[in-house]
Structure 1
Amino acid sequence: MATTTPPSVGPPCYTSVHTDKTVAHLNTLKDRHPGDLWAQMHISSLEYAAGDMMRKGRKKDKARVSELLQGLAFSGDSDVEEDNKLEAYHAQKKLRLSNVPEKNWTKRDIKPNFPSWLALDSGLLNLKNEKLNPVELFELFFDDEVFNLIVNETNNYASQKNVNLEVTVQEVRCVFGILLLSGFVRRPRRGMYWEISDADQNLVRDAIRRDRFELIFSYLHFADNSHLDQKDKFTKLRPLIKQMNRNFLLYAPLEEYYYFDKTMCECFDSDQFLNGKPIRIGYKIWCGTTTQGYLVWFEPYQEESMVTVDKDLDLGLGGNLVMHFADVLLERGQYPYHLCFDSFFTSVKLVSALKKKGVRATGTIRENRTEKCPLMNVEHMRKMKKGYFDFRVEENEEVILCRWHGDGIISLCSNAVGIEPASELSCSDEEEIHQIAQPSIVKLYGECREGVSKMDQIISKYRVRVRNKKWYSVLVSYIIDVAMNNAWQLHRTCNPGTSLDLLDFRKYVAHFYLEHNNEIVSLIFLWRFCFKCMHCHSNHRMVAESTVKN
């Protein structure tokens, strides 16, 4: 039987691939960036690579190699750019720190050199003499210029949507009356203001038709859509915000102390959260108020702040906002205002910058912003008795830092008030009431810090409840509530002892707008009826005369 020997199987034969250029390119990149991780790989000829290198796969493999080269080159460049940016940032930060002189802290009380507060509020005296009613006080803020702005932009927006709206100022006032009414007469649906029969509902039903209200409310607008600033998140409300800030400042009581803080406008569609406030979800708003809760200036929060300040000061977001508020106050006159704010804003650099402007400042301060002030450690101070405090003054800038043990440990910074005159505070400890020392800086801050909280409390009582589908409708409602709060604050100041409470004040304005529009609607209806009767009478007369002639 013949045996057959199987043919010897040799190694597979591959077509030679010319990869000299590819290898050369890779080695060039390797030599160019020897420190990069991707360039530390061993680069060899593709002749020894695993895979199908036949003629059919050449184009595909060449494309893969080119993509690899591009990816490696771009990734290397981006890494180098990021490293360069990081190095430049650290170098710039180190340069700034090196230019800042070291602080010289001494244990003594502060010696402020600000002038005394002698300002006279002539504007408030004029308001007292004019004896304005609640509607006139409210229209100090929502004046004719603001209402005309709303009417013009609303009609313009409706015309862009091919709707012939032709809303008037009186109709907008009537809409505002319903919004104010919704704060103290609440209904599950706004259509029920025209359904249920009672005194307030009859007032709404007689003032404006429901369909007309819905149409006006849906097209309510405050800016021209063809001239919007895309960098400004609140550009659709910017004209209204500017007008309201101008009017708030114009009629604000001229006081010595102001408080700057943040608050929230309720909106459950927002992703902003603020802990420690009655309303925690909504639009964050920066605001400066008097100690009684009158809002002087406000600005909705956005990532790219629209507040313009001196960038050389390097105060951060909070410091820039406080500096801008100080500039707003100084527009009324170069008075020695005293601003108070919490630890989000306070820094030694900010307090020093305000002092150069002639503005006094006091605020709580965080541990990492004390500029290496050698105050007693917080943990050590907790072991001391209540009423114990430690303090230091910076010799060059005359700024004091004080740490006090009360109900908790609080650290404060000021350029205008220090330790003396110290007062006594009643404190309960384990069922015993005893007196503890309280520095003057702590007492002052405690008296001024309730301004924004008082405003929030007043607004929350009768907040506007009617909303529409536009995202900024909640902010419009908030501005109306703030204007009502400010008007009521002026009313109480101008009429001490005989002022209306907040509910009666708000009801007065709402009923006036609704009743006034009702009278106008009745007059228009009567005029149309009389005109129709006169027209019919003239027709009858012409028929009678023609009959007599015939």
Structure 2
Amino acid sequence: MTDKEDLDDDRINLNDNNDNFLNEIAGHVELQYSLEGENIQDVGNELSETENPSTSNAHGDVMITGGFKRKSDFDVPVWRKPRNFEYSRTPINIEAFKMEEIFSEIGSKSPYDIFSLYFDKLIIAEITHFTNEYANQHNTAINVTPVEIRRFISILYISGYHTLPHIDHYWSVRPDMGIPIVKQALSRNRLKIIKRFLHLADNTDLNTVDRFAKVRPLIDALNKKFMQFGVFSHILSVDEQMIPYFGRHSCKMFIKGKPIRFGFKSWCLCSESGYLFSSILYGGAATPHDKNVGLGAQTVLDLLANVTEPDCHIIFFDNFFSSYHLMCLLNERRFLATGTIRENRMAKSPLRNLKKEKRGAFDQLLDGQQEILTVRWNDNAVVNVITNNSTAKPIVYAKRYCRKQKKTITIPQPKVIQEYNHGMFGVDLHDNAVANYRIRIRGKK
């Protein structure tokens, strides 16, 4: 084999009718199929068994691609005790090196300069354009400027840490309520007009399939901005986030028992410290996805699609996402992951029943071919964990309160459980940081 070319570059063009014209060039192909008047299942049935279609992407567009491997494409796991076993791959931690590069780039910037790296002039210009266009469609010329849009956003952020009972109080003449910087930035009526006509997309050119079409341009732009420094964290976590919303929308969720019961659900990929790398808005049960892997597994794979160095990260997720099938797919993509798992997704791993054993008891089994380890541990309840990079030993110890002895005791804990507890809560830290300064000026948009 050689990389030497046999053809002259000058002869390769569309006007060349000779026999040496290159009419087959390898590349990526994406087929898009409209949902109108068709059933996704019927479309999938028209494809061959080997094509295995994936019917959605992060933007809500219906897609037919090569899809993911099915469970039957992998060998049946053979479970055994992991005696003297070592993984063929170990995670590489280069986070400190990447953080030095980022600090050298933005370490001298002010908070406003860093904010401008995300809401840059292009994003502000698009919001300004779409807002003016929406106002013109309603026979109102507001002629809002980019400076006013920036000031409007800044007032929204001020309401997150300087909370007043009503929006009008920010312009109050009372010394204990009125805020001079807000009064100088925008008048009350001007802010209400901008709030009324604020728009992020062109209403005349919306994707009818995408339920989030009106905010999609901003979501896509911010996802790119979040990734501008690359995925620099060694430990990543995938989890859901609730965005509170009390208006009417077909994608609004109600989740009983959550701190935020009503709102939009978003799947997030975050660092250990809570930095958001990517998010995907969830449109409900009607959201198309590849049924060969399930919604949870496809969400993880979609969020990790932009991670360029899989060996440099460890991913954590909970039992909504994890399965033996997902771990096999992550192995193919060289990702190292750990997650809690439901018993019916463990590929029949015959771990012993620990319900009647004492607290701290555990069992583990290994599939040596795929290098996937399952661990069961008895805590206040039985916990199942699956991993392709960690081990149960060496055993660590965790503090628990004992009702019988009426004191705090220590119980044995597998190492993989400790690592999961340490690395899983990046999305929760991100959610907590947002909640501490959440915008208090409410609206139904």
Q: Name the TM tier (shorter chain).
A: 0.7 to 0.9
Instruction: Please say if residues 237 and 315 of structure 2, whose CA atoms lie closer than 8 Å, have aligned partners that are also in contact.
Output: yes
Counterpart residue number, 1:195: 172
- CA change 1:361–1:422 in 2 (3 A) is same
Matched, 1:414 2:387: yes
Counterpart residue number, 1:102: 76
* Structure having the larger proportion of residues in helix: 1
Matched, 1:469 2:405: no
Give the one of 356, 359, 383 matched to 2:335: 359
Cα offset, 1:239, TM superposition: 0.6
Instruction: Please say if residues 172 and 178 of structure 2, whose CA atoms lie closer than 8 Å, have aligned partners that are also in contact.
Output: no
The separation in 2 between residues aligned to 1:260 and 1:120, in whole angstroms, is: 18
- CA change 1:98–1:153 in 2 (3 A) is closer
The separation in 1 between residues aligned to 2:123 and 2:71, in whole angstroms, is: 48
Instruction: Please say if residues 156 and 441 of structure 2, whose CA atoms lie closer than 8 Å, have aligned partners that are also in contact.
Output: yes
Give the partner amino acid of 2:128: V
Paired residues in the alignment total 370
Counterpart residue number, 1:441: 416
**SS of equivalent residue, structure 1 residue 183:** helix
- CA change 1:372–1:334 in 2 (3 A) is closer
- CA change 1:194–1:173 in 2 (3 A) is same
Give the partner amino acid of 2:337: A
The separation in 2 between residues aligned to 1:385 and 1:251, in whole angstroms, is: 47
Give the one of 122, 143, 151 matched to 2:128: 151
Measured against aligned partners, the alpha-carbon deviations of 1:70-123 in whole angstroms (never above 9, x if no partner) come to xxxxxxxxxxxxxxx9xx9xxx9xxx7776643211111553222441425666
The separation in 2 between residues aligned to 1:154 and 1:280, in whole angstroms, is: 30
Counterpart residue number, 1:300: 281
Q: Where does the alignment leave 5 or more consecutive residues of structure 2 unmatched?
A: 1-41, 50-69
Instruction: Please say if residues 171 and 178 of structure 2, whose CA atoms lie closer than 8 Å, have aligned partners that are also in contact.
Output: no
The separation in 1 between residues aligned to 2:414 and 2:384, in whole angstroms, is: 12
The separation in 2 between residues aligned to 1:192 and 1:120, in whole angstroms, is: 45
Computing the radius of gyration from Cα coordinates, the structure with the larger value is: 1
- CA change 1:172–1:458 in 2 (3 A) is same
Give the one of 183, 208, 212 matched to 2:160: 183
Instruction: Please say if residues 243 and 265 of structure 2, whose CA atoms lie closer than 8 Å, have aligned partners that are also in contact.
Output: yes
The separation in 2 between residues aligned to 1:252 and 1:299, in whole angstroms, is: 18
Counterpart residue number, 2:253: 272
The separation in 1 between residues aligned to 2:273 and 2:435, in whole angstroms, is: 15
The separation in 1 between residues aligned to 2:412 and 2:128, in whole angstroms, is: 58
The separation in 2 between residues aligned to 1:427 and 1:356, in whole angstroms, is: 38
Give the one of 107, 112, 126 matched to 1:135: 112
Give the one of 172, 182, 207 matched to 2:149: 172
Give the one of 167, 179, 185 matched to 1:207: 185
The separation in 2 between residues aligned to 1:410 and 1:97, in whole angstroms, is: 24
Counterpart residue number, 1:487: none
The separation in 2 between residues aligned to 1:424 and 1:123, in whole angstroms, is: 33
Matched, 1:397 2:373: no
Give the partner amino acid of 1:447: H
The separation in 2 between residues aligned to 1:439 and 1:97, in whole angstroms, is: 28
**SS of equivalent residue, structure 1 residue 250:** coil
Instruction: Please say if residues 71 and 325 of structure 2, whose CA atoms lie closer than 8 Å, have aligned partners that are also in contact.
Output: no
Give the one of 256, 260, 264 matched to 2:238: 260
The separation in 1 between residues aligned to 2:102 and 2:374, in whole angstroms, is: 41
Instruction: Please say if residues 79 and 349 of structure 2, whose CA atoms lie closer than 8 Å, have aligned partners that are also in contact.
Output: yes
Counterpart residue number, 1:242: 220
* Structure having the larger proportion of residues in strand: 2
The separation in 1 between residues aligned to 2:322 and 2:71, in whole angstroms, is: 19
**SS of equivalent residue, structure 1 residue 229:** coil
Give the partner amino acid of 2:242: M
- CA change 1:279–1:120 in 2 (3 A) is closer
Matched, 1:382 2:355: yes
Instruction: Please say if residues 218 and 468 of structure 1, whose CA atoms lie closer than 8 Å, have aligned partners that are also in contact.
Output: no
The separation in 2 between residues aligned to 1:236 and 1:160, in whole angstroms, is: 16
Counterpart residue number, 1:284: 265
Counterpart residue number, 1:455: 430
Counterpart residue number, 1:228: 206
Cα offset, 1:451, TM superposition: 1.1
The separation in 2 between residues aligned to 1:419 and 1:263, in whole angstroms, is: 30
Of the structure 1 ranges 202-211 and 363-372, higher mean CA displacement relative to structure 2 is found in 202-211
Measured against aligned partners, the alpha-carbon deviations of 1:139-182 in whole angstroms (never above 9, x if no partner) come to 22111121111111112222222222221111111101110111
Instruction: Please say if residues 95 and 234 of structure 2, whose CA atoms lie closer than 8 Å, have aligned partners that are also in contact.
Output: no
Give the partner amino acid of 1:406: D
Matched, 1:316 2:294: yes
The separation in 2 between residues aligned to 1:103 and 1:151, in whole angstroms, is: 56
Q: Where does the alignment leave 5 or more consecutive residues of structure 1 unmatched?
A: 1-84, 471-550
Cα offset, 1:128, TM superposition: 2.6
- CA change 1:297–1:426 in 2 (3 A) is same
Measured against aligned partners, the alpha-carbon deviations of 1:360-400 in whole angstroms (never above 9, x if no partner) come to 010000011111111112xxx12211111011111321111
Q: Structure 2 length normalisation: TM-score? A: 0.77
User: For 1:318-337, what aligned pairs fall within 5 Å after superposition?
Assistant: 318-330=296-308, 333-337=309-313
* RMSD after superposition: 2.5
Cα offset, 1:346, TM superposition: 0.4
Give the partner amino acid of 1:294: Y
- CA change 1:359–1:253 in 2 (3 A) is closer
- CA change 1:445–1:98 in 2 (3 A) is closer
